[in-house]
Amino acid sequence: MPLRLLNRELSWLAFNRRVLTLAEEVGIPLLERLKFCAICSANLDEFFQVRVAALKDQVAAGVTQQAPDGLSPQAQLAAIATTADRFVVDQETMLDHLLDELAEEGIEVVDWPALTILDHMHLIGVFEQRIFPVLTPLAVDPAHPFPYISNLALSLAAMVSDPDTGERRFARVKVPNVFPRLIALPDGKRFLPVEQLIAAQLHTLFVGMVVEEHAVFRVTRNADLTLEEEEADDLLAAVEMELRRRRFGRAVRLEVQEGISEEMLELLVRELDLDRADVTVHRNPLDLTCLFQLHALERPDLKDAPWPPITAGRILRAEGQDRSIFSVIRERALMVHHPYESFASSVENFIAQAADDPRVQSIKMTLYRAGGDSPIARSLMRAAERGVQVAVLVELKARFDEATNVGWAKTLERSGVHVVYGLVGLKTHAKCVLVVRNDGDGLRRYCHIGTGNYNSKTARTYEDVGFLTCDPGVGSDVTALFNHLTGYSRAVEFQSLLVAPRDMRNQLVDLIEHEMTFGEDGRIVAKLNSLADPEMIQMLYRASQAGVQIDLIIRGVCCLRPGVPGLSENIRVRCVLGRYLEHSRLLRFEHGEGESPLFLIGSADWMGRNLDRRIEVLVPVVHPKHQAWLDQVIDFDLADDIVRHELDPGGVWHRRGPAVFHHGDSQERFYRWVNERQRA
């Protein structure tokens, strides 16, 4: 029998490959397919900056302990290198086909040698006016050591010689990001990668010298944030210091242009303290996030038709009657499903009304990824400035949003908001808001608990569920949670919520064990971003052996092996992808016949970090209409006639469903269903 667990890192790479398959799906518009190529590159950058960097740190520290799947850090790095190389080759082949199709639509990414003399003259003018003044060539010689290469910066390496003395020097030219990566020609339909224009004009940077050769390269560095919180007197200052140190993280990957000479490649590998296994070679332009620039073109015929979000029906009716959102929540708890239902008219509106309502006495919330321009943060500032007690837990350690969150923490504090940073050693990943309002008949606590971040931008593209309620039990638990996070108290017993790291793991184990008592009448459905925790996987194996039917809808990492005889034959795993990032966490425990099913939504995936090292919240969804809505989500995602990927016992994902993506797009079906309900 194979090992019980799949490797987490290789499972993530398999997820990124599933994203890449969207670039070849018949029925997805061309520029959207190109966008998925760009997303894959951005994903891979983050993977190397964090996951590969962590493995390299383990190797450097002499760690030989095997991961739960049986692979040592060194073995994982070797497997990752092989898999990543194969992925790059396949991605470039895919891009070749997409660029050919794009050219047929009148949009071309062109190469310098293929352009006309008139094109060259125009581009040289662009170079002289906009590019040349901001370039800085850096030569390497006894007086000039090898320059520091910043993380993910695009660079040109050049070998330059003196025609009189024959002396040769290596030089590096950084490609600044103050101008577009793809330079548009006058027709607006052809685009030249800017590094090719710079390469063609390198002689103007090394006057009187001979540029013998050049090549484009890019370095990826360790960008994970390492904090000793217990030793930090000021967490905000400590995070800012770590952000400065991040710029100088150890190199973990070198990307180079095909055709680079062995001499130049050896120099880069040596100076960056890398191995040849850390090098990936590219035929196409490095850093395919530049494709987002093409996706931004005004070509609606090559993009998805817009799906405008609707305002949830009960909120819409209240607006027509000039009633507040608080009156809607008092009537009955409200569940909203983004981005099908508008985040702006629900969650943002809830906090904006709270900020301006004279009856509101306090607002508390968590901010994990607020985003760059946050209407929610501005509402909180407005509330504080008019005297409302506002307390915000800003998670400074939200990966790759640390700098943004540091900025918001300072801005909020200047507006009079009480800003706290959570508990030492734990990230606060829970999505919670607590509004205390004097309703005339007494104080009432209005709560929002969600699966997604309070981020206006991602709320338009991430699929998430939010729950708004004034239920006294939920309000009491959320109050206790904030008191624990902002004050000094021992963890309390929560009556309604499942809260990590205190109780959630044990409560989930209890729920799985309870389902096992029903045998073949038991059923579990879990919609998660990732499933990697060995204990939770072991519990699912036990449930399968007890006859429980288990359906897992996992977007990303899945370390469980489904369908293994005697171990997991009653477990099925599928992945559903589309224009929206499937982000909601939804659990359904059937409880057999005679008991009502239990539905839970919240912020926690089934990973060790979520269950043991983060503040996470799950909330029960009890109203029959809300449960019916969540059942509809499950039904669409588990339908036999949708496009999805299914995981086999050997850890291989297989595409299933209609040949044309449009015919089996579960998200489009759900969008139509939501709109039909609105019209009804």
**Both 199 and 331 in a single domain?**
no
pLDDT at 96: 96
Least confident stretch, 113-122, 158-167, 539-548: 158-167
Residue 73 lies in a domain: no
- Whether 390 is covered by a domain: the verdict is yes
Inter-CA distances, 549 with 122, 519, 591, 595, 596, Å: 65, 9, 12, 17, 17
Among 486, 512, 536, where does a domain finish?
486
Query: Residue 492 pLDDT more than 80?
Result: no
In a shared domain, residues 603 and 480: no
Is 279 part of any domain?
no
Residue 426 is assigned to a structural domain of this protein: yes
pTM of the model: 0.93
Give the whole-angstrom CA distance, residue 549 versus residue 510.
17
Sheet containing strand 190-193, edge to edge, reads 108-109, 190-193, 182-184
Boundary (domain end) residue, out of 486, 512, 539: 486
CATH code of the domain covering residue 149: 3.30.1840.10
Q: Find the domain containing 372 and state its range.
A: 313-486
Decide: 188 and 86 in contact? Cβ < 8 Å. Answer: no
Cα maximum dimension of the chain: 93
Answer yes or no: do 177 and 149 share one domain.
Answer: yes
The answer as to whether 326 is a domain residue is yes
CATH number for the domain spanning 370: value is: 3.30.870.10
Within a domain: 244: yes
CB 350 within 8 A of CB 328: no
Mark whether 514 and 466 lie in a shared domain.
no
Same domain, 586 and 656: yes
Tell me: do 205 and 269 sit in the same domain. Answer: yes
Residue among 338, 429, 448, 583 flagged as catalytic? 429
Residue 240 has what pLDDT?
61
- At 230 the pLDDT is 47
Q: Please give the Cα distance from 452 to 464 (Å, whole number).
A: 6
- The residue written with tokens 């800085």 in the block is 136
Residue 253 belongs to some domain of the structure: yes
Are residue 673 and residue 527 in the same domain, yes or no?
yes
416 and 334: one domain?
yes
Between CA 547 and CA 44 the distance in angstroms is 39
Q: Annotated catalytic, 662?
A: no
> Residue 1 above 50 pLDDT?
no
Dihedral sign from CA coordinates of 527, 460, 33, 639: positive
Q: Tell me, yes or no, whether 145 and 242 share the same domain.
A: yes
What confidence tier does 398 reach under pLDDT thresholds 50, 70, 90?
low
Q: In 3D, which of 198, 506, 478 has the Cα closest to residue 366? A: 478
Residue 406 has pLDDT above 70, yes or no: yes
Domain membership of residue 88 (yes or no) is: no
Last residue of a domain, one of 486, 512, 538: 486
Q: For residue range 631-648, list pLDDT tens digits in order.
A: 999 999 999 999 999 999
In SS3 terms, 447-485 reads as EEEECCCCCCCHHHCEEEEEEEECCHHHHHHHHHHHHHH
pLDDT tier at 479, thresholds 50, 70, 90: very high
> What is the SS3 assignment for 482-528?
HHHHHCCCCCCCCCCCEEECCCHHHHHHHHHHHHHCCHHHCEEEEEE
* Predicted confidence (pLDDT) per residue in 518-557, tens digit: 999 999 999 999 999 999 999 999 999 999 999 999 999 9
Query: How many Å separate Cα 81 from the centre of its chain?
Result: 22
73-104 vs 8-21: helix axis angle to the nearest 10?
A: 10
* 657 phi and psi angles, rounded to 5 deg: 110, -170
Indicate if the pLDDT at residue 15 is higher than 80: yes
Round to whole Å and give the CA distance between 377 and 401: 15
Q: What is the dihedral of CA 127, 129, 134, 137, to 10 degrees?
A: 50
What is the predicted pLDDT for the residue at 241? 61
Domains identified in the chain, total number: 3
Both 213 and 234 in one domain: the answer is yes
Q: What is the pLDDT of residues 16-38, one digit of tens each?
A: 999 999 999 989 999 999 999 99
Distance CA 71, CA 64 (A): 9
Buried b (16+ CB within 10 A) or exposed e, 61-94: eeeeeebbbebbbebbbeebbebbeebbeebbeb
Judgement on whether residues 144 and 260 belong to the same structural domain of the protein: yes
- Are residues 412 and 266 both part of a single domain? no
Q: What pLDDT, on the 0 to 100 scale, is given for residue 536?
A: 98
**Confidence tier at 395 by pLDDT (50, 70, 90):** confident
